[in-house]
Structure 1
Amino acid sequence: MNNKLVLDNVSKVYGDGDSSVKVLDGISLEVKAGEFVAVVGPSGSGKSTFLSIAGALLSPSSGRILIDDQEINSLPANKLNKIRLEKIGFVFQASNLIPYLTVKDQLMLIAELAGHRNKAAEKRADELLERLGLAHRKNNYPEKLSGGERQRVAIARAWMNDPEVIFADEPTASLDSERGRLVVQMIADEVKKSNKAAIMVTHDKRMLDLCDRVVYIEDGKLSEQAIS
């Protein structure tokens, strides 16, 4: 299995001199194709900064980030935007669906932004919605969906452009434990089925058995943890 995501000695520092704050301190992590990794840690440990840097939303102060063997942290803005659209998928705490778009159009918008709105994209959207049990909802608007259904749409949207790496930020935060587990199970299944890499930041330890590895972050440093 090849590494889909590599963080190599990554640090993030805010401010200068005596007033500087080191949020990430020389962290390194490799995530392989087909691997689902959980990142856990207390509030203020650096989880959000870690996810933002790994997902190309924020630049590191030092170190390297590689996605699908391409170093991304030195790319110009236009190429970085292309990487985000084509190589990265995000699932957030809230589904962040656009209220005036139907379920299928949520997915088609992603294809359109990447310049791929065509018959093949239509077919992929239909297949993803079928796979996630949402085919009967494709013409519905978000207000007609349950919380769990909205998060499933968000998962389908994250997979729409066939990205190499998925980042999930507290995807169960707005769901009860049963629906939350279903959502995380779907992410885990899709990672294996499509041989992608995924990282989930979570506070919910009940979901960790669905992951392949657990990484603990505290004071900006990473350490591996056994799944109990």
Structure 2
Amino acid sequence: MEDLLLLEQISKVYGDGDTSVKVLDDVSLQVKAGEFVAVVGPSGSGKSTFLSITGALLSPTSGRMMIGGKEIHKLSPKKMNQLRLEKIGFIFQSSNLIPYLTVQDQLLLIPELSGMHHTNAKKRAHNLLDRLGLMHRKNHYPESLSGGERQRVAIARAWMNNPDIILADEPTASLDSERGRAVVQMLADEVKLHQKAAIMVTHDKRMLDLCDRIVYIEDGILSEKKKK
């Protein structure tokens, strides 16, 4: 299996001289197609910075990151934006749906930004909503959805452009155990079915058995332990 995501000796330092703070310290990670990786660690351990760099939202101080064999931090800002839109899907803990857009329009906004033909985009949106059990909600607004439904919409939106990499930041934080597990199971199934790579930052240890690998981050240092 190919490495869809490769981080090599990534460090991130804020500030200069005696006031500098190293948030990430020589972090390296490989994620192959079909792998679902959990990242866990205490608050302030560097998880948010790690996810921001992995999502090409923040540049590292040193090290390199490759997506699909391409070193991304050498790209121009325009090409970087295009890469984020085409190659990376984001799922946030609060779903971050746009309140004045229907469920269907939440999904159609993504391909509109990337220039996908409307007919193809609508077909893909309906396919995703059907697979996630949301077709009957396609014309509803976020305020009328349950927490689990909003997160399923967020998952569908993240998959809309068929990205190689999915990044999920505490996707179960606002859900009860049953709904949270259903959301993570959907994510795991999609990764396996379509041979994508996914990283989920989480505090919820009840979800770790659904992941292929677990990495720990503390004081900016990443380590991996084998699952029992």
Pairwise TM-score range, normalised by the shorter structure:
over 0.9
Q: Distance in 2 between matches of 1:74 and 1:24?
A: 20
Partner of 1:84: 84
1:43 matches 2:43: yes
Partner of 2:146: 146
Q: Distance in 2 between matches of 1:38 and 1:225?
A: 11
Q: Which runs of 5+ in 2 are unaligned?
A: none
Q: Deviation of residue 72 (structure 1)?
A: 0.6
Q: Deviation of residue 181 (structure 1)?
A: 0.5
Pairing 1:37-186 to 2, within 5 Å after superposition: 37-186=37-186
Question: What amino acid maps onto 1:62 in structure 2?
Answer: S
8 Å contact from structure 1 (residues 37, 213) kept in 2: yes
Q: Deviation of residue 226 (structure 1)?
A: 2.4
Identity across the alignment (%): 74
Q: CA RMSD in A?
A: 0.7
Q: Distance in 2 between matches of 1:152 and 1:95?
A: 9
Q: Which runs of 5+ in 1 are unaligned?
A: none
Q: Deviation of residue 86 (structure 1)?
A: 0.2
Q: Distance in 2 between matches of 1:150 and 1:30?
A: 30
Partner of 2:18: 18
Q: Distance in 2 between matches of 1:145 and 1:139?
A: 11
Question: What amino acid maps onto 1:58 in structure 2?
Answer: L
Q: Distance in 2 between matches of 1:133 and 1:198?
A: 22
TM-score of the pair, normalised by structure 2: 0.99
TM-score of the pair, normalised by structure 1: 0.99
Q: Distance in 1 between matches of 2:17 and 2:117?
A: 49
8 Å contact from structure 1 (residues 45, 220) kept in 2: yes
Q: Distance in 1 between matches of 2:139 and 2:124?
A: 16
Question: What amino acid maps onto 1:169 in structure 2?
Answer: D
SS of match in other structure, 2:73: coil
Aligned length: 228
Q: Distance in 1 between matches of 2:88 and 2:71?
A: 14
How big is each residue's C-alpha offset from its partner over 1:159-212, in whole Å with a ceiling of 9 and x where there is no partner?
000000000000000001110000000100110111100000000000000000
SS of match in other structure, 2:86: helix
Moved segments of 4+, more than 6 Å: none
Question: What amino acid maps onto 2:108 in structure 1?
Answer: M
